[in-house]
Amino acid sequence: MLSITHLYVYPIKSLGGIELSTARLTDRGFEHDRRWMLVDEQHQFLTQRDFPQMALLRTAIQANELTVYEKGNEMDKIHVNLYPTGSNRIRVQVWDDVCEAIELSDEVDHWFSQKLNRICKLVYMPDASKRKVDADYATDYELTGFADAFPVLMIGQASLDDLNSRLETPVPMNRFRPNIVFTGGTAFEEDTMQHFQINGIDLYAVKPCARCVVTTTDQETGIIAKEPLKTLSTYRTGNNKVYFGQNILYKNEGMIKVGDELKLVQTKAGLQLNA
């Protein structure tokens, strides 16, 4: 049996995530997942690709408040309303997408600017801001938040186990920032999933996830190395990209909890990888 073992949200794009026992799928991914984002003076998104120290900024949710603090310096923190309603709207950019966002406050922006040693600001995606998934993969005009491209990322534990069996030093799942982790089955079984169900929700694996240098950043220290991307590139490469995990779309909203069964409905051929 395939079953859900871990659920994660990442409230602020590229900052530390939060593990949950239950998560609610909304119109654009798990509730609170990547609804906030840091942008530069040109309103372009910031990520660990250029600022690996972002990994050390951690998030927590209590009641209607999002708290952000720096690992090892938990007393220095800021608090943000989970549902900002500010009237100051700006246009921000994530890759090729431009969408509307709410500015938070000068105080919050100053805190983040100090932590990253560059001028930046925190913005929030309100419900009225509709960022659509790439039309080449969308099936019903699906939305996403400030994630790179899709609302949900899923990885099988067996896939990480396979990778770690090839590494001198194993890496944890947080290198890959998934939303859903499942156990059971074989390594990279998610590659062959076309349609599956979790707690009555219909989900579809629509595109393998191409991995970048963020996977080489230790999420506990912010230190960059060559692995695991170096090893992954030896056996998980196709079309000049390195793949690990599957991007997911879904038909209906609802709750997913740890322990839920993942029921396969339809499979497909696996990835075409380089020999």
**CATH number for the domain formed by residue range(s) 2-29+133-267:** 2.40.33.20
Q: If you count them, how many residues does the chain have?
A: 275
Q: Residue 171: which of 104, 216, 113, 131 has the closest Cα?
A: 216
Residues of the chain with CATH 2.40.33.20: 2-29+133-267
The distance in angstroms from the start CA to the end CA of the chain is: 30
Per-residue pLDDT of the chain (275 residues; tens, 9 = 90+): 999 999 999 999 999 999 999 999 999 999 999 999 999 999 999 999 999 999 999 999 999 999 999 999 888 999 999 999 888 899 999 999 999 999 999 999 999 999 999 999 999 999 999 999 999 999 999 999 999 999 999 999 999 999 999 999 999 999 999 999 999 999 999 999 999 999 999 999 999 999 999 999 999 999 999 999 999 999 999 999 999 999 999 999 999 999 999 999 999 998 888 85
Amino acid residing at 239: N
Q: Are 190 and 209 in contact (CB under 8 A)?
A: no
Residue 205: CB atoms within 10 A of its CB come to 22
Quote the pTM value. Answer: 0.97
Q: Lay out the sheet containing 22-26: strands in order across.
A: 29-30, 22-26, 254-257
Q: Is 244 helix (H, G, I), strand (E, B) or coil?
A: strand
